[in-house]
Structure 1
């Protein structure tokens, strides 16, 4: 699904979703297509589900957001790894 479709289908809700098509652009992660996994009225419930999914499948790209958000664009934050000496 596209984000606009999700917003129309699930207005004013928190959703947990998997990004099935995404790309990086200018230091941001942009989600092009997604699959809605669950929807919630409460952000804490959505966050718990996100954590559960991420723990069980860390290789997949999961997010949770409110459908009032205008676009699916996230700043990429890379954790640095210190080298061994």
Structure 2
């Protein structure tokens, strides 16, 4: 599913998703396609679910973001955190 589709289907919500197709360029991660796992109105609930999935499936590229973001451009940080732009 494209991010635009996710934004239309789940407006003003937090979504937990797996990157189905992504690439890195100039220090950013660009996600072309996602698989939505869950959606939440509350950011803390979304973060809780993200952490559960990240611990149980560390090899998967899992994120949680708000659908108000116009695009998926995530700054790659290697200190344990990811910051979106």
Q: TM exceeds 0.5? A: yes
Greater Rg over alpha carbons, structure:
1
1:53 corresponds in structure 2 to: 53
RMSD of equivalent CA atoms: 0.6
Give the superposition deviation at 1:78.
1.8
**1:15 corresponding residue in structure 2:** 15
Deviations 1:11-37 (A, max 9, x none): 000000000100001100010000000
Query: How do 1:1-85 and structure 2 match up within 5 A?
Result: 1-79=1-79
Instruction: List alignment gaps of at least 5 residues for structure 1.
Output: 80-85
Whole-angstrom distance in 2 between the partners of 1:12 and 1:75? 22
What TM-score do you get using the length of structure 2 for normalisation? 0.91
